[in-house]
Structure 1
Amino acid sequence: MKLEVRNIKKSYEQTTVLDNLSFTLEPGIYGLLGANGAGKSTLFKIICGIIKANEGSINYNDQNVIESSENFCSVLGFLPQEFRYYPEFTALKFLLYISALKGLDRKFAKIKCLELLTTVGLDDVKDKKIKKYSGGMKQRLGIAQAMLNNPEVLILDEPTVGLDPKERVKFRNLISSFSEKKIVILSTHIVSDVEYIADEILILKQGKLEDRGSSIELVKEINGQVWECVVQQNLVPELIEKYTISNQKHEENGIVLRIISKKQPTETAVQVPPTLEDLYLYYFREEVSI
């Protein structure tokens, strides 16, 4: 099982969204990490055949997914960033409807829908109208519809945006439970969503693959560049202007700043172990407002 992205380029007029992007994925969970506008959703739409690339190809098991679109669609599951549903449908009716669109056998579809509703924790509300669901419940229904055909490739575009912390934890656990013998790609700009579940993280910046690796491997890049210091309030604006600040916390004796810098930012600053969030700000400091 192998998904290959080969030299993908995508532009709109004078704006380059994806710039000669290439990577190969095998079974596992992959976090696609990037700021808003990095090209994550565009890449997913190209993989799923929703839009066409200007150049390059997507291959699955050495077959071009456009030339073998019917075969690829049969093993593909997709949860778009804006999950569309019929508010007056119940969850069960909605899944049965999607099953019919995917051409699943009616008897098998009923069994599969009930099984998935139990898996995503919606069995007790399967006959409730979707419009009465919480945001987290709707997202779990979105996962269920993406899993109807037991896909080998599961693509989730910003699946936890708008969810509260408790729902995000549930969602991450659910994704992990689906990952065996599948290629799961989760795009996000929320670092904690990929830090704990992704086998490998791909960092996408301005349409290019900036880096890839496990979270442990990636943070090594900024070893010795993360500092903490306690300063008085009047010095904070100057340090924010001069350095990348990943966190600030008020304490009785002053403001604790977490600073990313190759050099010691203040005389009292001490080095601390880097985190994936520090790395994210290191890569995307221009796009992120502190």
Structure 2
Amino acid sequence: MRIDLHTHSTASDGTEPPSGVVESAARAGLDVVALTDHDTTSGWAEALRAGERLGVRVVPGMEVSCLAHGVSVHLLSYWHDPAQAALEGMLDASRTSRRTRARTMVERMTADTGLRWEDVLAHVHGQATIGRPHIADALVAAGVVADRDEAFATLLSGRSPYFVPHTAPDPLEAITLVRAAGGVPVLAHPAASKRGSCVGDAEVEEMVAAGLVGLEVDHRDHSDAERRHLRALARSLGLLVTGSSDYHGTGKRNLLGENTTDPDVLQELRSRSGGAVRAESADRAAGEVPGS
């Protein structure tokens, strides 16, 4: 069984619709795929319907953007109740901050690049969570940069004069709310030093005390040494180990199934959930899952 627990669609910063991600997963030979868009569950119903049609099990998930003492932390949540008020309130605040940050960054770079907010909105699908990738796509379309990688290395980097930080919850708060909503929290690419600063082992231990269940160890942004360290850390803290692609369609070079999760780990993750959402439920696939 081939399992990929980290993908993105046009509900956030991927380039394929939720159903398209599932179709791509089927073509890639995956048996299970998790849809984990940033700070939103709006793609769940479409993905679940596609999974029913194609015979691919879809795990409903989300990637929560957090900040710990100024360090970006990404938390994967699986099977949480999307209608849980406290969690949804936290996510709504994050989405609002992301949109405000994006618009301010565009306004700062308009004089130098000619980019307008309307140009960015042309690359946002529906009620997608707006982020820097959408600005990157607009910059590519305008011929300012060649691709997303160049955009993030230059105009959109944290060192850029156009950069604006955004408000995000503390990971301990996010973990607490995810667990209260019946979800299972796993720390995404925790040692991806090529992306910037990472939290240390002591911070991960604090997250475990708050309810963290696993670490995403097998990820293309982790070196072999970082993977070895994370496996040892997971053993010492009693955490489950996952592997994923972090697929974004054509938005990144990541390939579906390039890293996978053991079936026994998936079963254990499912057993830790509160059971509020059933990934295989045809009723929810028909549209009962609330959007965020």
TM-score range, shorter chain: under 0.3
Q: Which has the higher contact order (CA 8 A, sep 6+)?
A: 2
Specify the structure having the higher radius of gyration (Cα): 1
TM-score, normalisation: structure 2: 0.25
Question: 1 or 2, which has the higher helix percentage?
Answer: 2
